[in-house]
Amino acid sequence: MPILQRLFSLEGKTALVTGGATGIGRMIATALAGAGARVLIASRKAEACEAAAAAINAEGHPGTVEGFAGDVSSEAGIATLAEAVEARTDRLEILFNNAGVSWGAPLETFPHAAWQKVMDVNVAGLFTVTQRLLPLLEASSTPDDPARIVNLGSVMGSAPLGQNVYSYAASKAAVHHLTRCLAKELAGRHVTVNAFAPGPFQSKMTAFATGTDEQAAAVGRGVPLGRIGSPDDIAGAALFLCGRGGAYITGAILPIDGGIAVETGHELFEEA
């Protein structure tokens, strides 16, 4: 078998990507399907997931994508999501905890409710989805080819970038630490747990700063490598961690940020 196929092919594997209809989640789903995986994508809006799945499938990837509704903001929603996954598969090789929300407001008016909403989705939701789907992940795991969990953190979880993102930045720092906690606990069950820490990418969440090519270029000028991220940057990281090439990596927080995390005192979006 050619080395690239041996290390990065995902043929025969099933993956779930929460929040997979748009933004980085859609980039991940496209990459996994391109490597041959069966990909389930879920978000609050079933129609958006179904449309995204149809669009990705129309691109002719060797894998297939299926979209359906899935809300990770409550325990009941997660139970319904898990039941939908269990109805479709009895094994899950890959789980991308990508769903997330943000909230921006000045310090003086930042609402208490913003903490509960953001932490419920970004941290508690991530944990409970993992907890609920762990039996499916363990059903597919082996010492040589462990099941994979990848959580979506953020460069803002490691570096004080931007303004008015108190709950979001704190939630992503929690995601990074939770990733390490789960990696330690699940290693003996042959499940790896890693996280992405992306910098700026074009997505619905960053549309205020990267929604046009001009805005994206302005933000990119503040990145050490001189540009914002592209879908291929996400795809490469996803295939690395989920393919055979990433089987010996767990507890890693992978920066996909063009070098931002190595700088300090930098306001990423101030020029946008």
Q: What residues form DSSP beta bridges with 191?
A: 147
Distance, in Å, from the CA atom of 243 to the CA atom of 6, rounded to the nearest integer, reads 8
Type of residue found at 128? T
- Please indicate whether residue 248 is annotated as part of the active site: no
Structure token digits, residue 93: 């090789």
Paired tokens of 7: 């290390």
| Residue in 85, 97, 154, 168 annotated catalytic | 168
How far apart are alpha carbons 154 and 171 in whole angstroms?
9
Compute the residue count for the chain. 272
Q: Which residues are catalytic?
A: 168
